Amino acid sequence: MAKNVKDMLAEANSTVPKLSPAEAAEKMRSGDVLIVDVRDPTEVQQSGKIKGAVNVSRGMLEFRADPESQYHNSAFQKDKTILLHCASGGRSALAGKSLQDMGYTDVFNIGSFKDLVEAGIDTEPA
């Protein structure tokens, strides 16, 4: 049976742990994490990004995360904790599920950029 977005989000949300902004900040302070902003570059240009985050649009994520891809970004390491966010939390949930499917094990959805900013997490220009 074919899946729709609602089904895909439900599956992603059931397997990718969701952290509150406070929990995300704690993980960020603990050190060896990769913060991935899966919003489109135009969104990031308008609002900035979480300090130290890597912007990889949702459409390029698998290419950047796959070490065999010519587009691989070496920041993606399977032994790192990966914190994903987007504008509302939907794309980051789907991205987390994709990374899990690719063998990444320590993957978290940290939700929406707006909520992270409102919680006082440091940002920087794009």
pTM: 0.95
Tell me how far apart the alpha carbons of residues 112 and 114 are, in angstroms, rounded to a whole number.
5
* Residue 11 within a domain: no
Segment 19-60, tens digit of pLDDT: 999 999 999 998 889 999 999 999 999 999 999 999 999 999
The alpha carbons of the chain give a radius of gyration, in whole angstroms, of 14
Q: Is residue 12 part of a domain?
A: no
Does residue 6 lie in a domain region?
no
**Domain encompassing residue 113:** 17-124
Looking at the structure of the chain, the number of domains it has is 1
Question: For position 32, what pLDDT does the model report?
Answer: 87
Task: Please check whether residue 1 lies inside any domain of the structure.
Answer: no
Residues 12, 107: Cα–Cα separation, whole Å: 11
CATH number at residue 92: 3.40.250.10
Tell which wins on pLDDT, 103 or 32: 103
Residue 9 lies in a domain: no
Work out the average pLDDT over 81-109: 97
Q: Is residue 115 part of a domain?
A: yes
What pLDDT, in 10s, does the model give residues 58-80?
999 999 999 999 999 999 999 99
Q: Are residues 115 and 123 in contact, defined by beta-carbon separation less than 8 angstroms?
A: no
